[in-house]
Structure formats: C-alpha cells, structure tokens
Chain A
Amino acid sequence: MAKHNRGALEIKAFADHHVITQPNPLSSVLRRVGGKNLDDPVARAEKALAGLSGQFKNWMSIEADRLSAAHATILRLGFTDETCEELFRAAHDIKGDAATFGYPSAGAAADSLCRIIEHAPELERVPSNLIAHHISAIQAIVHERTRLDTVSMAGELSRELRGVADEYLTHANRDRPEHLEAILAPSIAPGN
C-alpha cells in the first residue's frame, strides 16, 4: 500500500457546494525518471498478455457456450427478468472481452445483440430469428476461426447483423426518441 501523504483536508465552503482538496495522497509512488530509462511497463504488460493468449480460444468458447445456454433457457422458459438478464450479461461480457481475445467480430455481433436487448420495446416481439442469428454467428466466429478467410467473413457477418438489428431497432423505436438517440449515438469504445 502506498505511503500516503497525510496532509490535512482543506475545505472551501461556498453557498451551495464545498471544494475539498488535500495534498496528493499518492504522490509518494510517483518518481521522475530520466530520458535514458528503458523500462517500459506497457510493453511489459503487453508481453504478459501475449503470454496468456494461448488460453483465449478456450475462454472465448466458454463465453460463447454461456451465451448459447442463456438463449436455450429463453427458448424453454420465455423472456423473464432473470433469463433476459443472463442473456444480456453473457452478450455484454463477449462484447467487452472478445476483441482482447482476438475475436473482434464476435464482439461486434455481441454488441449488436446487447443493443437489441437494451432497446427493443418488447423482446417477445423481436423476430426470433434475429436473436438466434446473432447467437449462431458468435458461435460460428468462435468455433470456425481456423477456417480459411474467416476473418473477413466474420467481419462481414457481424456488419450484416448490425445492419439488420439497427434497421429493426430504428423502426421499433420510431416513437421513443430517447432510445433512438442512444441507438444512433456513436460508440466511444476504442477501435470503433
């Protein structure tokens, strides 16, 4: 744990707010280094991440299977708070992890599925094929990755899915401006 700078808090009181400052409590962990310092913590971390990459395919398979299981539960039990929550959580995890694991197209397809779950006015009325195609596409991208030209095919597949999903969502939310705004807003995720 950092040796904290134990300076006093200074509190400036204004009519409707307080501004609280204190000496930087973490200043003791900062050190100035010269230009000749060759230590590069970011490069070190990237190398360590590359060392983990042998496990990424397995991790991605686990995540894709979890998504398929969540979808199977919905087909069996219908859309309940719990089943929708699990489907969203599984898709959301893939959206966040897949690019790190080397499957950016699976991440894009999962993002598209998350948007459907978040913005469809009624999930029961979403064409069942639309959700099923997203799940199948993610499974295919993850499990067929070693096939020839799958990288470009995977990209094309997820773009197509996103196009169809956006078209559906834009139409379904035509009277819900707050959702339309969110659907049409640009993403802040790196690489988008």
Chain B
Amino acid sequence: MFRIDFNKLRFLVCDDNPHMRRILRTLLHSFGAREVYESEDGATALEMYSHYVPDIVITDWSMPIFDGLELAQMIRQPESKGNPFAPIIMLTGHSEKRRVTVARDAGVTEFLAKPISAKGLYQRILNVVANPRPFIKTKTYFGPDRRRNSSNAYIGPERRVGGEVEVLQQPSLLDKARTPV
C-alpha cells in the first residue's frame, strides 16, 4: 500500500467560490499538505502557476476572466517556459459525460465531478502521483495520453499513424522551468 507525503507537495487551487476554496484547503491540509496556494480566477491562477511552480493544480471549470478549461490549455503549451506537464485535476459541477471529453481534450489529467468527497479527491491525487501517463504531442493536442488502457480487443480505425522514427533525449522541461531566467 502506498501513501503520499503531502507535506512535500505544492498545490494550486483555483475556484471562484470562496466556500469551495475553503473546503479544498481544509481537505488538503488535513491530508497533510502545507503549501496550498489559492486563486479565484483563471488569469490569477496562471500567474501563480508561473510564480510558484506547483506540483499539482486543482481547478474549477466555470470561472470569471478565463475558465478552468482555458487555464488547462494555457498550462499545456509545450513551447512555454513554464512546466507544461503538471497534473491538472478538474473539479467541477458539470456532470455530463461530454464535459469529461472536452476537459480531457484540453489536457486535463483527472476529472472529479462535484459534490466533492475526501475519498474522491484523495484517489485523484494518488492517481496523478503514482500513475503519471506519458504525454502525447500532435498538431492539435498536447497533454497526458488520453488512452488510459491498451486493449487488444479494440475494433476501429487506428488514429495514430506512422512507425517509430527516432528517439530523442532532452533535458527535463521541469528543469528548464525552474531555471531562473
């Protein structure tokens, strides 16, 4: 069985509702987290993301200025100086399946529908910490692999084409993000 040392993790929480921020802060602190930064809109969250370089982002969807979906898209910029790989957990009152697909296509790592529970939040955090997925970059997408399972029983068109061309080694973008300019 695994446990997370929450006191080593830095969180950025983005929700325009002060009550929900309080709930999230309470849950994260009681899990053991010490560093929890909060913002009430997407624009401030993006600034805080660059400044604090959090390990995990937890964001609402519906927010003023720009929303959680746009925040995810802005974080998932492979050419940016920041860290485009941080896990993003979208916590939202939207509860339709199509919303999950839209969030996934914006590069969100995990989706958690409200009402929030301690167990649901803990499981999502454990999943992003213990089971990070590779990232996929295409012309239209950059984010965690949207295929969570590989199934030999899949019947349908193969949308990813082309054999392996080459393997490149690059320094970690995280190192790049944390190098002072």
Contacts and interface: CB of A to CB of B under 8 A. Distances in A.
A3 interface: yes
B129 A26 contact: yes
Contact of A16 (B26, B55, B130, B162): B162
Given A2-B8, A25-B85, A49-B27, A17 B160 contact: yes
Interface string A54-90: 0000010011000000000000000000000000110
Contact of A15 (B53, B94, B122, B162): B162
A129 B94 CA distance: 25
A9 B92 contact: no
A6 B176 CA distance: 10
Interface residues of A, number: 71
A45 B26 CA distance: 7
B77 interface: no
A52 interface: yes
B165 interface: yes
Q: Is the interface of B mostly helix, strand, loop or mixed?
A: mixed
Contacts of A30: 2-5, 129-130
Interface of A: 1-4, 6-22, 24-26, 28-35, 37, 39, 41-42, 44-49, 51-52, 59, 62-63, 88-89, 92-93, 95-101, 104, 107, 111, 114, 182, 185-192
Interface of B: 1-6, 8-10, 16-17, 19-20, 22-23, 26-27, 29-32, 35, 53-55, 62, 85, 87, 92-98, 100, 113-122, 128-130, 132, 134-139, 145, 160-175
